[in-house]
């Protein structure tokens, strides 16, 4: 490299140091974007195309040849064409013998074909080494360079060396390769970019259902009841008051549902006397989406906090307080401070604040970058010890909120209990059962079972 070369801001380094040549079959959107990015990273790129006319859209530094010619120039061939056109590769089988074919295709639906595109390609060109990669990256992200979304590229393939070569390219493009194993993983990799929060579906549908139920329950008691019996229009409660009853109820129930499967699993293990039998499927799935359940609960809790904090700004509340004060003044009486009431009001708020604070802490530790920096013992300490403390505080918050109303029959409209009472069922059950499980007579065998001990070793089939 002489003095001059540094002034001409070439896209690629001098020839002797240049990276290997990569061939790209297909000059579509993604093929071009990938070619452009590879040229920038110092690769030579040759496109294989039906028409070898140089289109203005193809990067200038790249060659365009027929498929057969292009394939001969490189060891690695990126197949940037759609699955339905793969069959044209069959006649090229001889030229592709021993080459590394990179399948980057995606489908339109999950499990669209019986076998993955990469496996189909491997069948069509049996002599080639097929590697699945790049399908999770969008052409737009490659072009614009704004990889705000994931930089992770899942790679799989049966040939170790071929996979390594592809992973080197991935790294050279500034992306992060993730080895996913053999080509059998291709199906999963092809489904991945089509997924839309699969782990969140159950928690979100569950909470939507519960929200609808509790919303109409509260609507009945707070809006319809006074309208029927007192002909009062409280419909404006729909905006804040009723959501502010539904949110804490859902937060509490969902938080309890995070800890319920753990308690159930303990009971099942104790009953079976072994940890080596699989849990029922529904319990397994439930346990896998506990994090998501907890985060949805946290979302409801956060909205509840905001709804609660705006209470004194609401015009209805201001009117109520003002009316009360005016009526007191007009009746010429000053009420003394009710210390019991002050105690209940303050401790209910304090419990809620502490519970919410711990809840947010749990949420922060579930951020991937934070949980990556704690060891297993610390993670369990936070998610189990602090988690139960949060549940206890939030349950106590709701219990104290209820305060004296529990035994007051006049507070039961239409013989229906208050909504918050319903919300206490699950968390109280979880806490009571967990408390029972802590007793040494149950905790000791459970610990032994979890360390691999079996009550009846022959039990295993």
Judge whether 169 and 42 are in contact, CB under 8 Å.
no
Q: Which lies closer to its own copies via its Cβ, residue 351 or residue 426?
A: 351
**What residues are paired with 178 via a beta bridge?**
154
338 binds its own copies per the rule CB under 8 A: yes
Among 25, 47, 120, 214, binds its own copies (CB under 8 A): 120
Query: How many residues sit close enough to its own copies to count as binding (CB under 8 A)?
Result: 139
Among 306, 416, 432, 436, binds its own copies (CB under 8 A): 306
307 binds its own copies per the rule CB under 8 A: yes
Q: Which of 91, 97, 104 is nearest to 26 (CA)?
A: 104
What is the nearest approach in angstroms of its own copies to the Cβ of residue 432? 26
152 binds its own copies per the rule CB under 8 A: yes
Residue 153 to residue 189: CA distance in whole angstroms: 10
Which residues lie below 8 Å from residue 96, measured CB to CB, with a gap of 6+? 71, 77, 89, 125, 127, 128
Q: Which lies closer to its own copies via its Cβ, residue 41 or residue 211?
A: 41
Return the range that interacts with its own copies (CB under 8 A); candidates 65-73, 117-125, 388-396, 427-435. 117-125
353 binds its own copies per the rule CB under 8 A: yes
* Residue numbers 251-290 binding its own copies by CB under 8 A: 276, 287-288
* Residue numbers 394-423 binding its own copies by CB under 8 A: none
Return the range that interacts with its own copies (CB under 8 A); candidates 76-84, 190-198, 206-214, 262-270. 190-198
What is the nearest approach in angstroms of its own copies to the Cβ of residue 192? 6
Residue 237 to residue 223: CA distance in whole angstroms: 7
Among 305, 391, 424, 449, binds its own copies (CB under 8 A): 305
Among 225, 347, 413, 434, binds its own copies (CB under 8 A): 347
441 binds its own copies per the rule CB under 8 A: no
* Residue numbers 29-58 binding its own copies by CB under 8 A: 29, 40-42, 55-57
456 binds its own copies per the rule CB under 8 A: no
From residue 364, alpha-carbon distances to 23, 302, 360, 372 in Å are: 45, 13, 6, 12
What is the nearest approach in angstroms of its own copies to the Cβ of residue 42? 5
What is the nearest approach in angstroms of its own copies to the Cβ of residue 430? 20
Q: Which lies closer to its own copies via its Cβ, residue 166 or residue 183?
A: 183
Q: Which lies closer to its own copies via its Cβ, residue 33 or residue 46?
A: 33
* Residue numbers 213-242 binding its own copies by CB under 8 A: 233, 235-237, 239-241
């Amino acid at each position: 490299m002489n003095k001059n070369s540094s002034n001409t801001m070439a896209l690629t380094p001098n020839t002797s140091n240049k990276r290997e040549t990569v061939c790209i079959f297909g000059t579509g959107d993604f093929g071009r974007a990938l070619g452009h990015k590879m040229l920038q990273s110092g690769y030579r790129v040759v496109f294989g195309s039906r028409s070898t006319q140089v289109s203005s859209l193809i990067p200038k530094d790249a060659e365009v040849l027929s498929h057969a010619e292009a394939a001969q120039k490189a060891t690695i061939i990126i197949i940037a064409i759609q699955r339905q056109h793969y069959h044209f590769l069959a006649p090229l089988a001889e030229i592709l013998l021993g080459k590394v074919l990179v399948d980057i295709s995606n489908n339109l639906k999950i499990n669209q074909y019986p076998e993955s595109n990469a496996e189909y390609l491997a069948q069509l060109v049996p002599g080639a080494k097929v590697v699945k990669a790049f399908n999770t990256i969008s052409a737009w992200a490659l072009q614009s360079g704004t990889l705000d979304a994931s930089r992770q590229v899942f790679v799989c393939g049966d040939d170790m060396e071929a996979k390594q070569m592809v992973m080197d390219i991935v790294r050279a493009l500034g992306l992060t390769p993730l080895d996913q194993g053999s080509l059998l993983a291709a199906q999963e990799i092809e489904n991945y970019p089509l997924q839309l929060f699969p782990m969140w579906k159950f928690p979100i549908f569950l909470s939507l259902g519960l929200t609808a139920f509790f919303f109409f329950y509260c609507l009945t008691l707070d809006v319809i009841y006074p309208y029927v019996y007192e002909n009062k229009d409280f419909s404006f409660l729909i905006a804040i008051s009723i959501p502010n009853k539904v949110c804490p109820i859902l937060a509490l129930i969902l938080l309890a549902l995070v800890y319920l499967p753990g308690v159930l699993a303990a009971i099942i293990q104790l009953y079976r006397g072994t940890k080596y039998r699989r849990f029922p499927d529904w319990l397994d799935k439930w346990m896998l989406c506990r994090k998501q359940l907890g985060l949805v609960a946290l979302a409801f809790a956060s909205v509840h906090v905001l709804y609660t904090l705006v209470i004194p700004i609401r015009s209805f509340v201001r009117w109520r307080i003002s009316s009360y004060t005016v009526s007191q003044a007009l009746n010429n009486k000053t009420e003394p401070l009710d210390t019991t009431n002050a105690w209940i009001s303050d401790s209910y708020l304090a419990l809620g604040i502490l519970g919410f604070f711990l809840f947010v802490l749990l949420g922060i530790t579930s951020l991937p970058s934070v949980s990556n920096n704690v060891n297993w013992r610390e993670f369990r300490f936070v998610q189990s010890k602090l988690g139960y403390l949060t549940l206890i505080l939030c349950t106590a918050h709701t219990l104290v909120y209820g305060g004296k109303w529990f035994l007051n029959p006049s507070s039961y409209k239409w013989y229906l209990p208050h909504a918050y009472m319903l919300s206490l069922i699950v968390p109280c059950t979880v806490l009571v059962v967990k408390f029972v499980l802590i007793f040494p007579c149950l905790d000791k065998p459970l610990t032994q079972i979890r360390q691999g001990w079996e009550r009846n070793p022959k039990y295993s089939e």
